Amino acid sequence: MMHGRDDDGVDQFTPIYAYCEETIERNYADLRHMLFMFGRGGNEDAIRARSAARLAEKLADFRKQESDYEQAQAAAGITAARQATELIAALRL
């Protein structure tokens, strides 16, 4: 998340760590509110549009990473092992 520029005009960013879509949506909602509060007046529509586009981009990236993670787990046998463990636990009940 960009939080300003340094004295040389270089954008300064802080990474946002999100483990679910709701966290990403909440972070972008907070950012949008800050931009409305501290941004120049009259450009609310531009802020809204830019924020919606970035949010969609980040959610798509998050979904791809989640999919890649699940595929890696399945390829390594982790998914099958987890399912076998759950089946054994269910049979013991």
Residue with tokens 């919606």: 52
Distance CA 19, CA 50 (A): 23
25-41: pLDDT as tens digits:
998 898 888 777 776 66
- pTM to 2 decimals? 0.70
Q: What is the pLDDT of residue 73?
A: 94
Q: What pLDDT score was predicted for residue 2?
A: 58
DSSP 82: H
Count of C-beta atoms within a 10 Å radius of residue 55: 18
Distance from the Cα of residue 57 to its chain's centroid: 9
